[in-house]
Structure 1
Amino acid sequence: MTLYRQLFTWMLAIFFLLILAVTGIELNTTRNFLLTQQSAEVNNTINSMGLALAPYLEDDDKVAVESVINALFDGGFYQEVRLKMLSDGSEIVREYPIHVEGVPDWYTGLDLFPVITEERTFTSGWLQLAEVTVVSHPGYAYKEMWRSTIQLGIWIGILFVIAMLIIAVQLSRSLRPLDTITNRAKEIARNKFGDPIPLPPTRELKTVVRAINQMSSQLEAYFEQQAKEADRLREHAYRDTVSGLGNRSFFVGQLKSWLAESAVGGLVMVKVDLITDTYRNQGFAQGDTIVGQFAKKLNTTLTDADCTASRISKDEFVVLAPNSTGEDLQIIGESIMAIVNDMQHDPMGITPPKLAIGLAVNSTDNRDASVLLAQADNALTQARNTPNHPISMIDQTDNDASMGKQQWKSLILDAMAHDWFKFKLQSASTSDQTVIHQEVFSAIEKGNDYYGAAHFLGAVEQLELGESFDRYVVSHMIQRLSDDANLGPVAINLTQNSVTNASFIRWLTTTMQKHRNMAGRLFFEIPESVFVRFPDHVSLLTEQAHRFNFGFGVDNYGRNFQSLDYLNKFKPSYVKIDFAYTSNLDDESQSHVLASICRTAHNLNITTIATRVETEAQLNKLSELFVNGFQGFIFEKKSENHG
């Protein structure tokens, strides 16, 4: 029970007892008054009767006596009147029926008024003439008492309702600061920090509010400091300080992650001679300035959320472009060449571009990083042979039976229309195999042909089919969750195209509202790059998810070199750590960075999940670094052995 209800209940109970006591006193006073009035009335009636009967009793006129008695007691509140003539012992008896009109039987059954019996002897001098006995009838008293009870009950009811309203309003006003403190304490427990609470008028609560405000500001500052410390460690280990891009270590981690996951796409390797010349002719300061300008423009050019750029040497840069075709890489290469042409400040366009660009499209059969890097390096060397247009491509998929964009589009649309999609669930679990959720992986099965998600997800994004595809997957999984009450929770990956689409956000909001019972069983997973690049769009979606209590997570956590403050803003349920941070746990500096970014999420009560965990050694090492959940072959193997 809440403090408000306790106080409200006790105050009403005390007020009710006081009212009850006052009512009891008032009714008792009324009863005593009516009882006294009844005794006085009987006494007065007998006195009047003695005066009226005296002459007739002396004359022993029984007829006259009886007439007087009938006249005196007709319609009066008396049960019985008995007169005994002492001269001859004869009696005159009048009995009246006991019935009180307008008063409930249960009320008269309370015996509030005792029967009053008065006896008197009439005399004439020393001569005793008659004895009279009058037994009162309490009907009038009960009627008056009942009327008083009804009136008091009505007034008590009105007063009680008024008092209840006044107590409720005043108590609510008095406890409002306490409610604010309670709500703020709950928010702080969930690591939500807002504006300071205004000081209440109550002296005792002012001290509590000051303490809450101070604690809130200190915790907020601590978490901000923690996030900044994680950013500093991450930048020191993986970020090139001059360009702001990823360094060689970051690139190698991303390359390994991509090759292990899908290997669909390619590399763009760029050697910028303009930077070399600037360092040699104008010094390090000007050279660093040119590097910063080039990196900034390069980042602006790369609109695809999956593309990552890194600086691997003084004048060499590499762009990793997952799910990209040779045509896509060619567009990126042309854009980079336009950047350098613009920086050369050659309005006549006479000077050849001071760079070389090598493009390497990877074959899905190749999972070797050294082979792909050698191809990109060979393409870079070939680009030197055409100085006026120094771009060269090596495409290992030329001889493959790979499909074009329109073929992919047709296949994906047909797969959604004919339900060729198959869905597999992979569990993310704690170290003791408690399932956190199951991630949904999709594939297309058409006859004997099988296409994993890595083959077509790039085409989904490039062809802007993300909204249709995500609607299809979400609707399908909601149907499965409805059919199987034991299934879930499941996590569905959303594409960038969907999250940045207002139409999809409206549709998903309506879907969550319609299926509120799925809250807690359905999660949505959004790439970190979307949180960083499109915070306004993500905010619209996550606000609705919080509104209907649907969870959501961050994919590729830590990949982008922006502050981790977005965690505190969006409050995701979990984060999936980018594989670049977990690929080489023997590296001490990498372990420190991993622990730091995981601690940032851990302190905000956000679950951290590592993917591609294959051995017990990996699991034990990750458990020491603030990682809560694990996803990968190790749990599939355990479940098979258990089965």
Structure 2
Amino acid sequence: MTLFNQIFSWMLVIFFCIVLAVFGIELNTTRNFLLNQQTSDVNNTVNSMGLALAPYLESDDKVAAESVINAFFDGGFYREVNLTLLSDNSEIVREYPVQIQGVPQWFIDLDIFPVITEKQTITSGWMQLAEVEVVAHPGYAYKQLWKSFVQLGTIMVVIFLVASVIIGWQLQRSLRPLARITAKAGEIAKNKFGDPIPLPPTTELKTVVNAINVMTDQLKNYFEQQAKEADRLRKTAYRDAVSGLGNRSFYVGQLKSWLTESGVGGMALIKVDLIGEAYKNHGFEAGDRVVEQFANNLTTTIISDDNMTAARLSKDEFVILAPNSDPDDLRLLGESVLAMVVDMQADPTGLTPPKVAVGLAINGGGNQDASVLLSQADNALSQARNTPEHPVVLIDQSIGDAAMGKQQWKALLHEAVAQELFVFKYQPATDSESNRLHQEVFSAIEKDDQYYGAGHFLGAVEQLQLGETLDKYVITHVLKTLSQDASVGPLAVNLTLSSVTNASFIRWLGTTLYQHRKLAGQLLFEIPEVAFVRHADHTGLLIDQIRQAGFQFGVDNYGRNFQSLDYLQRFKPDYVKIDFAYTSHIEDDAQGHVLASICRTAHNLNITTIATRVETDAQLAHLSELFVNGFQGYIFNNTQDSHG
């Protein structure tokens, strides 16, 4: 029972007792008044009747005496009249049946009024003529008392109801600061800080509210400082200080992650001689300014694809990873870099050759070794430097499905949806004791004995804005699977970025999840981190739909983007999946500190952290010490297949 209900109930009980006591006192007062009035009326009636009967009794006129009795008692509340003549002991008896109208029988049966009997001797001078006995009937008293009972009861009920409303309103008003304190404490327990509580007028609660506000500010500042510290360590370990892009360590981690996932796409190796000349001819400050300008232009005008990653390898060398890009996309990227550097040269004559060389390489299909791809890109860069008039060279050694174009992927995707060529695999995420947290759904296409993993066609899906089609199909299939066998869940479905930013998909998802609310604990959604960083408004709308239906969501590629981790506090995901770049070299102390820092930021917000591609017991043990409480990878050999 809440404090409000407890206090309100006791106050009502006490007030009810007071009202009941007042009601009883008033009713008893009315009863005594009616009883006295009845006694007085009977006495007066007997006295008057004695005076009226005396002349007739002296003359022994019984007929006249009876007439007098009838005249006195007809129509009154009297039960019996008995006149005894002393001359001959004869009696005149009259009984009057009285019907009480409008008074319930149960009220009469309470016997509230006693029977009143009045006796008197009628005399004439010194001579006694007769004795009269009158028995009154309390009907009138009951009628008047019942009327008072109803009136008093109605008034008391109205007073009680009005007073109850006033007491409840005032009590709620008085306890409102306490309700705010309770709500605030609940939010703090969930690491939601919000605005401070207004100071209440109650002196006793001001101290409590002040303490909670101070504690909230301290916790909020602590979490903000911790997030900033995690950002600082992350940027120190993985970001180039001058350009703001990733450094070589970050690039190597992203390259391995990409090649492990699918390896479909390409990379651009860029040698910017304009930067080298600035360092050589004008010093470090001028060179840093050119680097900063080049990096800003690169991130704002060149890398429009959210999946692309740029890094600075050395003083004047840069690299761009372009997953899921085809040769045309990569050529366009190279031409854009070339045009950007030409603009930075500020040569009005246009006679100066571009002070840049761009080597482009397409991955040759499958999970290629990083050294092979780097050698391919370096070879392309060398060829580009040998053609200074147009220093952009592409080496394309892609084979098989890696050489398929966007339109081919589009046709295959539509065919797979129409003919249900999709197959699904489930990979579990567990805690350190192998207790399953959920299973991640991996989708692929099987056609004519060919297997096309999601990593091969997701790039085309994003570029052609087909994410809505793919995600709707996968979600519908998963909901159907869970409806048939809920024990397979919870299942986590990855959402494409194009779906997250699609208003039509968001509306569809909200309607679909509302219709399947009973599966709220069995279905989770994984949203790429870039959606929270670059498309926060769309992501907020999507999350509102997910939360309102009671479902949960997580963040994929946690920590990949160098923006602040403050979005965790705003969106409060249920779990995060750490980007592979942070877990690929955990034996390195510096990278271990960074991993522990970003995991601690999530851990302190009660957000589960999950590491992927855990393959050995040593990795599992090491990650368990770094605030990682979920694991996913080949070490758990219970991956399940489900054919669509």
Seen in structure 2, the aligned counterparts of structure 1 residues 146 and 434 have a Cα distance that, compared at 3 Å, is farther
* TM-score under structure 1 length normalisation: 0.95
What amino acid sits opposite 1:269 in the alignment?
L
Seen in structure 2, the aligned counterparts of structure 1 residues 400 and 616 have a Cα distance that, compared at 3 Å, is closer
Looking at structure 1, the residues matched to 399 and 527 of structure 2 have their Cα atoms a distance apart, in angstroms, of 33
The Cα offsets for residues 288-324 of structure 1, whole Å up to 9 and x where unpaired, read as 1111111111112111111111112222111111112
Seen in structure 2, the aligned counterparts of structure 1 residues 127 and 634 have a Cα distance that, compared at 3 Å, is farther
Alpha-carbon deviation of 1:485?
4.5
Match of 1:86 in 2: 86
Looking at structure 2, the residues matched to 634 and 82 of structure 1 have their Cα atoms a distance apart, in angstroms, of 113
Matched position secondary structure for 2:9 = helix
Alpha-carbon deviation of 1:597?
0.2
What amino acid sits opposite 1:239 in the alignment?
R
Looking at structure 2, the residues matched to 96 and 440 of structure 1 have their Cα atoms a distance apart, in angstroms, of 96
> Percent of aligned pairs with the same residue?
67
Match of 2:212 in 1: 212
Could you list the runs of 5+ residues in structure 2 that have no partner in the other structure?
none
Matched position secondary structure for 1:472 = helix
Match of 2:44 in 1: 44
Looking at structure 2, the residues matched to 136 and 634 of structure 1 have their Cα atoms a distance apart, in angstroms, of 103
Match of 1:505 in 2: 506
Alpha-carbon deviation of 1:375?
1.6
What amino acid sits opposite 2:25 in the alignment?
I
Match of 2:592 in 1: 591
Matched position secondary structure for 1:633 = coil
* Worse-superposed segment, 418-427 or 590-599: 418-427
Alignment length (residue pairs)? 640
Looking at structure 1, the residues matched to 458 and 401 of structure 2 have their Cα atoms a distance apart, in angstroms, of 19
Match of 1:100 in 2: 100
Match of 1:110 in 2: 110
Alpha-carbon deviation of 1:227?
0.4
Looking at structure 2, the residues matched to 200 and 548 of structure 1 have their Cα atoms a distance apart, in angstroms, of 36
Match of 1:139 in 2: 139
Match of 1:344 in 2: 345
The Cα offsets for residues 531-579 of structure 1, whole Å up to 9 and x where unpaired, read as 1122222223223434444322111000111111111122222111101
Alpha-carbon deviation of 1:47?
1.4
Match of 1:329 in 2: 330
1:275 aligns with 2:261: no
Match of 2:434 in 1: 433
Looking at structure 2, the residues matched to 434 and 155 of structure 1 have their Cα atoms a distance apart, in angstroms, of 66
Looking at structure 2, the residues matched to 148 and 353 of structure 1 have their Cα atoms a distance apart, in angstroms, of 108
> Structure 1 stretches (4+) deviating beyond 6 angstroms?
none
Matched position secondary structure for 2:637 = helix
Matched position secondary structure for 2:199 = coil
Looking at structure 2, the residues matched to 398 and 201 of structure 1 have their Cα atoms a distance apart, in angstroms, of 76
What amino acid sits opposite 2:203 in the alignment?
R
1:576 aligns with 2:580: no
Seen in structure 2, the aligned counterparts of structure 1 residues 151 and 542 have a Cα distance that, compared at 3 Å, is same
1:563 aligns with 2:564: yes
Match of 1:631 in 2: 632
Looking at structure 1, the residues matched to 89 and 457 of structure 2 have their Cα atoms a distance apart, in angstroms, of 126
What amino acid sits opposite 2:429 in the alignment?
A
Alpha-carbon deviation of 1:100?
1.5
Match of 1:13 in 2: 13
Seen in structure 2, the aligned counterparts of structure 1 residues 399 and 208 have a Cα distance that, compared at 3 Å, is closer
Match of 1:492 in 2: 493
Matched position secondary structure for 2:118 = strand
Seen in structure 2, the aligned counterparts of structure 1 residues 427 and 319 have a Cα distance that, compared at 3 Å, is same
C-alpha RMSD over aligned residues: 2.2
Looking at structure 1, the residues matched to 568 and 401 of structure 2 have their Cα atoms a distance apart, in angstroms, of 43
Mapping of residues 196-595 of structure 1, within 5 Å: 196-300=196-300, 301-398=302-399, 402-595=403-596
1:76 aligns with 2:76: yes
Looking at structure 2, the residues matched to 40 and 486 of structure 1 have their Cα atoms a distance apart, in angstroms, of 88
What amino acid sits opposite 2:543 in the alignment?
T
Alpha-carbon deviation of 1:639?
9.7
Match of 2:155 in 1: 155
Looking at structure 1, the residues matched to 442 and 79 of structure 2 have their Cα atoms a distance apart, in angstroms, of 96
1:181 aligns with 2:181: yes
Looking at structure 2, the residues matched to 200 and 366 of structure 1 have their Cα atoms a distance apart, in angstroms, of 64
What amino acid sits opposite 1:208 in the alignment?
V
* Worse-superposed segment, 368-377 or 52-61: 52-61
Alpha-carbon deviation of 1:158?
1.9
What amino acid sits opposite 2:596 in the alignment?
A
Alpha-carbon deviation of 1:77?
0.9
Please tell me whether the aligned partners of residues 365 and 399 of structure 2 are also in contact (alpha carbons under 8 angstroms). no
The Cα offsets for residues 126-169 of structure 1, whole Å up to 9 and x where unpaired, read as 54433322222111011101111111122122222221222232
Match of 1:24 in 2: 24
* Worse-superposed segment, 342-351 or 33-42: 342-351
Alpha-carbon deviation of 1:520?
3.7
* Worse-superposed segment, 35-44 or 119-128: 119-128
Looking at structure 2, the residues matched to 231 and 9 of structure 1 have their Cα atoms a distance apart, in angstroms, of 53
Looking at structure 1, the residues matched to 551 and 13 of structure 2 have their Cα atoms a distance apart, in angstroms, of 42
What amino acid sits opposite 1:253 in the alignment?
G
Alpha-carbon deviation of 1:222?
0.8
What amino acid sits opposite 1:535 in the alignment?
A
What amino acid sits opposite 2:171 in the alignment?
L
* Worse-superposed segment, 166-175 or 66-75: 166-175
Seen in structure 2, the aligned counterparts of structure 1 residues 638 and 449 have a Cα distance that, compared at 3 Å, is closer
Looking at structure 2, the residues matched to 341 and 502 of structure 1 have their Cα atoms a distance apart, in angstroms, of 39
* Worse-superposed segment, 336-345 or 405-414: 336-345
Matched position secondary structure for 1:359 = strand
Looking at structure 2, the residues matched to 295 and 492 of structure 1 have their Cα atoms a distance apart, in angstroms, of 35
* Worse-superposed segment, 431-440 or 450-459: 431-440
Seen in structure 2, the aligned counterparts of structure 1 residues 480 and 352 have a Cα distance that, compared at 3 Å, is same
Seen in structure 2, the aligned counterparts of structure 1 residues 22 and 506 have a Cα distance that, compared at 3 Å, is same
Matched position secondary structure for 1:337 = helix
* Worse-superposed segment, 338-347 or 428-437: 428-437
What amino acid sits opposite 1:79 in the alignment?
R
The Cα offsets for residues 162-206 of structure 1, whole Å up to 9 and x where unpaired, read as 212222322232222222222222222222222322222222222
Matched position secondary structure for 1:320 = strand
What amino acid sits opposite 1:120 in the alignment?
Q
Please tell me whether the aligned partners of residues 362 and 396 of structure 2 are also in contact (alpha carbons under 8 angstroms). yes
Looking at structure 2, the residues matched to 303 and 449 of structure 1 have their Cα atoms a distance apart, in angstroms, of 32
Matched position secondary structure for 2:414 = helix
Seen in structure 2, the aligned counterparts of structure 1 residues 202 and 84 have a Cα distance that, compared at 3 Å, is same
The Cα offsets for residues 70-115 of structure 1, whole Å up to 9 and x where unpaired, read as 2211121122222222333322222223531110111111111111
Looking at structure 2, the residues matched to 199 and 103 of structure 1 have their Cα atoms a distance apart, in angstroms, of 58
Looking at structure 2, the residues matched to 511 and 116 of structure 1 have their Cα atoms a distance apart, in angstroms, of 82
* Worse-superposed segment, 466-475 or 124-133: 124-133
The Cα offsets for residues 240-297 of structure 1, whole Å up to 9 and x where unpaired, read as 1111111111111111111111121122111222222221221111111111111111
The Cα offsets for residues 448-472 of structure 1, whole Å up to 9 and x where unpaired, read as 3322211211110011111222222
